[in-house]
Structure 1
Amino acid sequence: MGTWVTTNTGFRSFLSDRIGYKSGLALNNTEMIELLDSNDPLIGIFKSQNEELVRIRTNYIEDTFQIMLYRLGVTTKEFVGHAPTLLDLEFMHSPSKRLLFRKVLKLLGETHFGQGKKSIFDEFDEDSYYKSIRVDLGVEALAIARRLVSLTKESEEASPWDWLSARVTEWHSPIELKQLFESESLDAMYGTFLDQRYINYLASNSDKLSTMHWRKFEALTAEYFERKGYKVQIGEGRNDGGIDVRVWSKDLEFYQPPVQLIQCKRTKSKIDKVLVKSLWADVVNENAKGGLIVTTSSFSPGAIEVCKVRNYPIREANRKTVIEWLNELRKIGKGVFMGE
């Protein structure tokens, strides 16, 4: 178990840089502290006001880094682990599978890492590797090989060390996390209306939905429908007449009546019947098929009742639904931006 001797400011700079490289998000010291538990062994280094020499255990660095990546939505679990070790333990009581695993691992070492490659992401010919496994070792070994590669990618993605530059997505130009809460901008390098990096973060931090910027909340709604294959038009944000997003099916033109008129309400208050009636009037005026109110809260009993009694085609997408959207967008984004 190694140690690293550096200054606290030097370490914070190092970790901020590595977080930015792996997640695409630029974090300040306060934001890094917010990602950690109060009993994290390294939290004192982040909170220290004076520059001082520190001796840090490397396993603490790895653990803290993995927790940060998990809470930023980069990885799906706090502890990733070392791929060969995990599989060796998994097959401990299955001699035949363990033997296959070791053959699979040996071939990976010979065909890739034996060529001087440091990372599984470094010009790895995945298809050729799988073909060799299938021909030489069979279908059962192929399944093990796929798991080995997948776990290796996860473990390399979660490594803080700069000699291992592996990352699933080659993020360009890190964006500031604080802009999710402060900016009205709809600029998105990875997405149309809301950047995938913010989506990943929100999927792992749904408690932040109520504090994200209201314009970004509208962008999240527009991004969801756009990625589901609809034509989407987002409002001006201010003085947009109360309609935040208009949605058309892909076979319709923008000059035709929308399929849905959407209002977005990032609020803790229940949606009342007045808002429902107002949206219904807009639906009638634009000859739309229906309306949707997307909220971080939910409909009040009065709003539910007026929709039921008057048969208004107004639906609710409440907090639970929005969280489901985030998880779906995260998966879609993984396929689109991470090359799966």
Structure 2
Amino acid sequence: MGTWITINTSFRSFFSDRIGYKSGLALNNDEMIQLLDKDDPLFDVFTSQKEELCRIRTNHIEDTFQKFLYRLGVTSQDFIGHAPTLLEMEFRNDPSRRKLLQQVLRYLGEIHFDKEKQSIFNDFNESQYYENIQIQFGSEALIIAHRLVELTKDSEEASPWDWLSARVLDWESPLELRGLFESESLDAMYGMFIDQRYLNYLSINTEKLGSIHWRQFEALTAEYFERKGYKVEIGSGRNDGGIDVRVWHPNANASAPPVQLIQCKRTKSKIDKVLVKSLWADVIDENAKGGIIVTTSSFSPGAQEICKARKYPIREVNRGKVIQWLNELRRVGRGVFMGD
């Protein structure tokens, strides 16, 4: 393992730049500190108030970088590791598969990395590699070769080093994370109402749901129904009569009433029956099929009872359900924006 000797402020700039490149999110130093564990080896590098020389182990840089990517919703785990090492550990008690691993690894080096190719993404003929592995070493080796290549891709995508440019998605430009908490803007480069990078972040940092900007909470709701295939209209945000999102069936004509009227309440307080009755009146007024209240809280007992007793077609989407939406939107987003 190596050591990097640098000025702490220069390192923080490097780290922020690489995080922005890989995640598509622009983070300031305070936002990076929030993602750090107190016992992280790099904690002092990020929190020091004075400019000073520091010695940083490269494996610590890699480990912390991978944790950041996970906590920003970019990767599915907080440790990726080195592909050959992971497989060697897995096969340590299986001599036959360990031998096959060495064969497929050696061959990968001969046809690719030994030819001054630093990355698996650099003109690697994957299908030809698998075909030759099958011919030379057999079906069991082919399975190992597939895992080796996929783990290598994962490792490179989670690497902080600038010579490994591979990333989950080629984000066009970094998006400021603070906009999720401070901005009413619905401009979304990767999404219709809210940017996919914010959805990725929230899917991991669900405790932040209650503190995002109320307009972004409305945008999240609209984005969910839009990706489900519905026609969606989001309200103006202010002076919208209390209806935040209107939803129509995909094939509805322009004059058809909405299928659902939605109110979004990013709040800690329980949803009371007054709000339920108000939404029911709007449903009647617009001849909609029903209403939905999307909240970071949940219905009060009174709200639940009035819906049941009067048979109001008003549905609750509480915090737990919104978290399910986020997990779904993250998975769907990878397909939408990566072309899976």
Place the TM-score, normalised by the shorter chain, in its bin: over 0.9
Moved more, 102-111 or 44-53: 102-111
Q: What CA distance in whole angstroms lies between the structure 2 residues aligned with 1:85 and 1:319? A: 40
Q: What CA distance in whole angstroms lies between the structure 2 residues aligned with 1:131 and 1:253? A: 52
Moved more, 138-147 or 22-31: 138-147
Q: What CA distance in whole angstroms lies between the structure 2 residues aligned with 1:166 and 1:216? A: 30
Which residue is 1:197 aligned to? Answer: 197
Inter-CA distance 246–8: structure 2 relative to 1 (3 Å threshold) = same
Q: 1:287-302, aligned counterparts within 5 Å?
A: 287-302=287-302
Compute the displacement of 1:240 (Å).
Answer: 1.0
Compute the displacement of 1:136 (Å).
Answer: 4.9
Inter-CA distance 289–145: structure 2 relative to 1 (3 Å threshold) = farther
SS at match of 1:18: helix
Q: 1:232-251, aligned counterparts within 5 Å?
A: 232-251=232-251
Q: 1:1-340, aligned counterparts within 5 Å?
A: 1-134=1-134, 136-340=136-340
Deviations 1:286-318 (A, max 9, x none): 221111111100011011111111111111111
> What runs of 5+ residues in structure 2 fail to find an aligned partner?
none
Is the contact made by 2:74 and 2:168 (CA closer than 8 Å) also made in structure 1? Answer: no
Compute the displacement of 1:139 (Å).
Answer: 4.5
**TM-score of the superposed pair, with normalisation by structure 2:** 0.95
Moved more, 278-287 or 138-147: 138-147
Compute the displacement of 1:138 (Å).
Answer: 4.7
Q: What CA distance in whole angstroms lies between the structure 1 residues aligned with 2:196 and 2:337? A: 8
Aligned residues: percent identity?
72
User: Which amino acid in 2 is paired with 1:291?
Assistant: G
Q: What CA distance in whole angstroms lies between the structure 2 residues aligned with 1:164 and 1:170? A: 13
Moved more, 296-305 or 245-254: 245-254
User: Which amino acid in 1 is paired with 2:210?
Assistant: S
Compute the displacement of 1:134 (Å).
Answer: 4.5
SS at match of 2:55: strand
SS at match of 2:151: helix
Compute the displacement of 1:142 (Å).
Answer: 3.7
Q: What CA distance in whole angstroms lies between the structure 1 residues aligned with 2:130 and 2:292? A: 47
User: Which amino acid in 2 is paired with 1:202?
Assistant: L
Q: What CA distance in whole angstroms lies between the structure 2 residues aligned with 1:135 and 1:268? A: 62
User: Which amino acid in 1 is paired with 2:99?
Assistant: L
Q: What CA distance in whole angstroms lies between the structure 1 residues aligned with 2:253 and 2:103? A: 57
Deviations 1:243-291 (A, max 9, x none): 1111112121242112211111100000111111111111112221111
SS at match of 1:280: helix
Equivalenced residues, count: 340
Q: What CA distance in whole angstroms lies between the structure 1 residues aligned with 2:128 and 2:300? A: 58
Q: What CA distance in whole angstroms lies between the structure 2 residues aligned with 1:274 and 1:84? A: 61
User: Which amino acid in 2 is paired with 1:231?
Assistant: K
Is the contact made by 2:22 and 2:157 (CA closer than 8 Å) also made in structure 1? Answer: yes
SS at match of 2:167: coil
**TM-score of the superposed pair, with normalisation by structure 1:** 0.95
Is the contact made by 1:202 and 1:326 (CA closer than 8 Å) also made in structure 2? Answer: yes
Q: What CA distance in whole angstroms lies between the structure 1 residues aligned with 2:286 and 2:133? A: 59
SS at match of 2:74: coil
Inter-CA distance 290–208: structure 2 relative to 1 (3 Å threshold) = same
Is the contact made by 1:121 and 1:167 (CA closer than 8 Å) also made in structure 2? Answer: no
Q: What CA distance in whole angstroms lies between the structure 2 residues aligned with 1:317 and 1:135? A: 54
Inter-CA distance 113–178: structure 2 relative to 1 (3 Å threshold) = same
Q: What CA distance in whole angstroms lies between the structure 2 residues aligned with 1:227 and 1:115? A: 44
Q: What CA distance in whole angstroms lies between the structure 1 residues aligned with 2:299 and 2:4? A: 54
Q: What CA distance in whole angstroms lies between the structure 2 residues aligned with 1:295 and 1:255? A: 29
Q: What CA distance in whole angstroms lies between the structure 2 residues aligned with 1:228 and 1:131? A: 39
Q: What CA distance in whole angstroms lies between the structure 1 residues aligned with 2:135 and 2:217? A: 50
Q: What CA distance in whole angstroms lies between the structure 2 residues aligned with 1:71 and 1:171? A: 18
